[in-house]
Amino acid sequence: MQIDITGHHVEITPALRNYVHAKLERVVRHFDHVTGMHVVLTVTKLEHRAEATLRINGGKLFADAVENDMYAAIDMLSDKLARQVTKHKEKLSDHGDRASVRTDAAP
């Protein structure tokens, strides 16, 4: 899987690049069907924004996070993406068997 990292008004240092790779590898471990990822790190006056688009089989997932610190924004971004990937994975494994599980359904 390829992770593209782009900086907008911020220089992408090797330490920042390694931190993004380390945090987002956790997301990839949850779901094997990630084909690519594009991460944009942006700095404005008082905000540090991290946003990512995950390309997966059958669609895309997007998340963003805004914090006072870039590393905190990357942490929050990875948490959001992990939740989205887990939810997407659960949707794929749910085959509509909810009707047979219900016990209060009228015969």
- Three-state DSSP at 38 gives strand
Q: What is the mean pLDDT of each successive set of 10 residues along the chain, which is 107 residues long?
A: 89 93 85 86 94 89 94 94 88 66 55
Burial class (CB in 10 A: 0-12, 13-18, 19+), 40: middle
- The confidence score (pLDDT) of residue 56 equals 86
- The confidence score (pLDDT) of residue 13 equals 93
- The confidence score (pLDDT) of residue 21 equals 92
Question: Which residue from 51, 85, 37, 45 is spatially nearest to 68, judged by alpha carbons?
Answer: 45
pTM for this predicted structure: 0.81
Domain residue ranges of the chain, discontinuous segments joined by +: 2-92
Q: For domain 2-92, give the CATH superfamily.
A: Ribosome hibernation promotion factor-like (3.30.160.100)
- The confidence score (pLDDT) of residue 98 equals 56
- The confidence score (pLDDT) of residue 97 equals 59
Distance between CA atoms of residues 27 and 52, nearest Å:
12
- The confidence score (pLDDT) of residue 93 equals 79
Specify the pairing of strand 48-56 against strand 59-67: antiparallel
Distance between CA atoms of residues 63 and 81, nearest Å:
6
Tell me the residue ranges of DSSP E strands in the chain: 2-8, 34-43, 48-56, 59-67
- The confidence score (pLDDT) of residue 102 equals 53
